[in-house]
Amino acid sequence: MKRWLYLLHRWLGVLLALFMAMWFISGVVMMYVGYPKLDEAERLAALPPLDAARCCATEVQTLTRAPATLRGARLVSVAGAPRWVLTHTGREVRALDAVTGEPIATVTGAHALAAAQAFMPGVAAWHEGTLDEDAWTHSKALDAHRPLHRIQMADAAQTVLYVSSRSGEVVRDASRTERAWNWVGAWIHWLYPFRGGALDAYWHDIVVYGSIAATVLSLLGVLVGVWRWRFRGAYRGGAKTPYREGWMRWHHVLGLLFGLTTVTFIFSGLMSMNPFKVLDSGAPRLEQRLARAGGQLQHVSFTLPVREALQRFADDGLIVRELEWRNVAGQAYYLARGRHGQSALLRADGAGDTPVQGLDAATLRAWAQALVPEARVTGAEVLTRDDLYYYQREPHTMSGGSRPALPVLRVKFDDPHATWLHLDMRSGAVINQLDAHRRAGRWLFAFLHSWDWPALLALRPLWDAWMIALSVGGLLISTTGVVIGARRVARKWPFRAARAPQAHAA
């Protein structure tokens, strides 16, 4: 039995050691340069102030004409002109001219170029064409905006902007530095060479089954390493390891030192893919809960004219860059956002005259209860600092820049799925839903893969040193495995066997 496990470890290593080495190198790169994305701070900083005098005479008709699938509505400026951007079930995006209320049927190359130059004023640019997907736009978040217009900017960073063909908004930016580092970062780490081509349909399975095989390889390595190590006594010559050849000896010793953390890195990467839906509990999705509780926009009345709302926000000191329609606890609100992410709420049904900075915990707790009516609230807590289940990461990281700042309200329920809801106290938005399966996933993926324990993250550069040390250990195991595997293949290579009879005959 041991012999078969040795052989399985050996030949899995021949197949996968190089991939694992690339994963460790690219993982360190991703600590500092993430996959290109346009985060909320960048997007808001690039938006001009909304001009109340130019828009919105038809906002009420815009909403009443919208189908029941409407999930969200925002007023923004695109290429200097006000525009409604509507999001529907299934993430379909439509845009309407905010002056006339007419649909934006086509976003041409010229329109996309104008939007990009408004996003980066004073910078020359040229339209490079439209595309469905390229190396920097694999994210599912962009699916609703495809095909995308690619705009090359002539700034010092050689930024590429991607413009939605649905709304005309800039939806992604990628600087030359990001693009260069990502060839050895996220593009390799996520096996994106298999995306966008003939193997695109199989990418998910390649990642999942490749990660399973690499996890088995690593576990077998730890097992074999322990079996072969003399904890009591020594081999002939006084060594604890039976291997005299340098590469084999180092592979054995490094495997004992870093083998378990290598297993956790590979396994947690597998869990990021939610293989076989193991992290899905069967609980209703958040969208289903909102629809059942009447949380759609059609269930509330927006009667306050947008022009007047913008003026009230301005009188309160907030220059609005984006205005969003919201249904919070069955009440209509306008959510206004400023250049630096500051926000305020205003009742949109005429019931409130003054913007407020947020909603009270009692109102949001009642709204949370309405979303999970079948269960009893077992706890409600206002979070004012990061904890193990709600914390901020750097904007360039995979989850960074996507969570509202504190405070947030956490509401816990006693339903069979042990559901938690997090609600943003500034906007009233339900940020996420965490059931027991998803909380387990936080540990099986996020913690094991990134060691994102808030107490450790607060001690940078200690976190950096820890992550780099573990990654270097995994890299050394993988690199020695590559050398050992290459030597093994060279010895077994069929041409060597084929040349031997010829040399004997000569």
The span from the CA of 178 to the CA of 155, in Å, is: 14
388, HSE (Cβ side, Cα atoms, 13 Å): 7
Tell me the per-residue pLDDT of 197-241, one tens digit each, with 9 for 90 and over.
889 999 999 999 999 999 999 999 999 999 999 999 999 888 999
| Model pLDDT, residue 505 | 42
Percent with pLDDT over 70 in the chain: 95
Residue 247 falls inside a structural domain? no
Percent with pLDDT over 90 in the chain: 79
Residue 172 falls inside a structural domain? yes
Residue 118 falls inside a structural domain? yes
Cis peptide before 82 (omega within 30 of 0): no
The span from the CA of 59 to the CA of 57, in Å, is: 6
Query: Which residue, among 103, 114, 68, has the nearest Cα to 89 in the 3D structure?
Result: 68
| Model pLDDT, residue 234 | 93
**pLDDT above 80: residue 13:** yes
| Model pLDDT, residue 52 | 80
Q: What H or E segment, with its residue span, contains residue 12?
A: helix 2-30
* CA angle 430–83–292, rounded 5-degree value: 30
Tell me the per-residue pLDDT of 20-43, one tens digit each, with 9 for 90 and over.
999 999 999 999 999 999 999 999
Residue 197 falls inside a structural domain? no
| Model pLDDT, residue 503 | 46
Q: What is the pTM of this model?
A: 0.92
Mutual angle of helices 246-271 and 203-228, in 10-degree steps: 140
Tell me the per-residue pLDDT of 303-328, one tens digit each, with 9 for 90 and over.
898 999 999 999 999 999 999 999 99
Query: Domain range spanning residue 49?
Result: 40-178
Distances in Å between the Cα of 170 and the Cα atoms of 84, 86, 504 are 14, 15, 70
Residue 215 falls inside a structural domain? no
Tell me the per-residue pLDDT of 458-505, one tens digit each, with 9 for 90 and over.
999 999 999 999 999 999 999 999 999 999 888 877 655 555 555 444
Mutual angle of helices 2-30 and 203-228, in 10-degree steps: 120
**Which DSSP symbol is given to 111?**
H
Residue 141 falls inside a structural domain? yes
Domains identified in the chain, total number? 1
Residue 162 falls inside a structural domain? yes
Which residue reads 């690339």 in tokens?
22
Q: Average pLDDT of 369-382?
A: 97
How is residue 309 written in tokens?
Answer: 């709302």
Residue 135 falls inside a structural domain? yes
